[in-house]
Amino acid sequence: MRRIIFSVFILFLVWGKINAQSLQEIVYLKNGSTIKGIVIEQIPNQSIKLQTSDGSIFVYKMDEIEKISKEKVSKSEKSQKPSVTYDLNGYRGFVDVGYIFGTGNEFSKIDRVEFTTTHGSQITTNFFIGGGTGIHYMTLNDVFLLPLFIDFKGYLLSGNVSPYFDFKGGYTHILSKLEDEDIKGGLYISPSIGVRYLISNNIGLNASLGFVFQQFRDIALNEYAKANGVSFKFGIEF
């Protein structure tokens, strides 16, 4: 009889351990993200440390967390990476640096170094709208340009890696003093495609390839010149 009771007790312990191992925590963050894994360390009222099924470890402050719940791990989830979604709605900022290879001939063929910064709102997971400015340095003529633009971005995916398209449109001011004072700024258009990689819940890295159309006007002759180019950029968003 004692052997039977002891055997049943052992079975309950084993079942309980197996059942506990098949449970995982779901951490709901206030920014809308959800992380699935096992809490391996918790400091009351301060922070928790979560390990996901692929071995990654995340640490969150308690004031970042909306709630924590448990769920059973399905067979499919055991063989898959943790389910992580990103909700970046609200303010977003971008800083990009790059190089523009001039195309065409004469004035249009001048290369430029570019620095731009954009700030606005992530209206939905897939759509951003904002405005920005920057500095373009024309390497041959030692001329500085100031583009002012509206920026639209569209993301195809909601995960940590997403291709995107970008469209900037606005006006280019000439900051440097030119020999010909009749030459003024003009239209600025820059469409591009790229890839974003989120390295945390709200920080991302991006790389893009695009085309730049910059127009200049000679007000004395009422003629237009253009400085087009192919742009390669790298940046960070936050």
Which of these ranges, 30-34, 76-80, 88-92, 135-139, has the smallest mean pLDDT? 76-80
Is 121 domain-assigned? yes
What pLDDT, on a 0 to 100 scale, did the predictor assign at position 106? 62
Statement to judge: residues 148 and 211 lie in one domain: yes
Model confidence at 81: pLDDT above 70: no
Going by pLDDT thresholds of 50, 70 and 90, the confidence category of residue 73 is low
Taking all residues of the chain, what is their mean pLDDT, rounded to a whole number?
82
Domain housing 167: 90-237
Q: Pick the more confident residue, 37 or 15.
A: 37
For the entire predicted model, the pTM comes to 0.62
Statement to judge: residues 201 and 102 lie in one domain: yes
Q: For residue 11, what is the domain's CATH number? A: 2.30.30.100
**Looking at 48, 78, 108, which one is the last position of a domain?**
78
**Looking at 54, 78, 102, which one is the last position of a domain?**
78
Model confidence at 15: pLDDT above 50: no
What pLDDT, on a 0 to 100 scale, did the predictor assign at position 31? 83
What pLDDT, on a 0 to 100 scale, did the predictor assign at position 207? 97
Is 156 domain-assigned? yes
Is 32 domain-assigned? yes
Statement to judge: residues 94 and 212 lie in one domain: yes
Statement to judge: residues 8 and 31 lie in one domain: yes
Statement to judge: residues 201 and 107 lie in one domain: yes
Calculate mean pLDDT across residues 121-129. Answer: 93
Statement to judge: residues 97 and 73 lie in one domain: no
Q: Are 133 and 142 in contact (CB under 8 A)?
A: no
Statement to judge: residues 121 and 161 lie in one domain: yes
The two three-digit tokens of residue 229, written as one number: 């180019």
DSSP one-letter string for the chain: -HHHHHHHHHHHHHHHHHHHHTEEEEEEETTS-EEEEEEEEEETTTEEEEE-TTS-EEEEEGGGEEEEEEEEPPHHHHTS----B----EEEEEEEEEEEEE-SSGGGG--EEEEEEEEEEEEETTEEEEEEEEEEEETTTTEEEEEEEEEEEEES-SSSEEEEEEEEEEEEEE-SPPSSTTEE-EEEEEEEEEEEEESSSS-EEEEEEEEEEEEEEETTTTEEEE--EEEEEEEEE-
Which of these ranges, 27-31, 82-86, 105-109, 215-219, has the smallest mean pLDDT? 82-86
Statement to judge: residues 146 and 123 lie in one domain: yes
Statement to judge: residues 71 and 171 lie in one domain: no
Is 40 domain-assigned? yes
Model confidence at 17: pLDDT above 70: no
**Looking at 58, 78, 98, which one is the last position of a domain?**
78
Statement to judge: residues 7 and 120 lie in one domain: no
Is 83 domain-assigned? no
What pLDDT, on a 0 to 100 scale, did the predictor assign at position 8? 44
Statement to judge: residues 143 and 196 lie in one domain: yes
Is 65 domain-assigned? yes
Model confidence at 202: pLDDT above 50: yes
Statement to judge: residues 128 and 211 lie in one domain: yes
Q: Pick the more confident residue, 225 or 98.
A: 98
Give the count of domains, the chain. 2
Model confidence at 233: pLDDT above 90: yes
Q: For residue 101, what is the domain's CATH number? A: 2.40.160.20
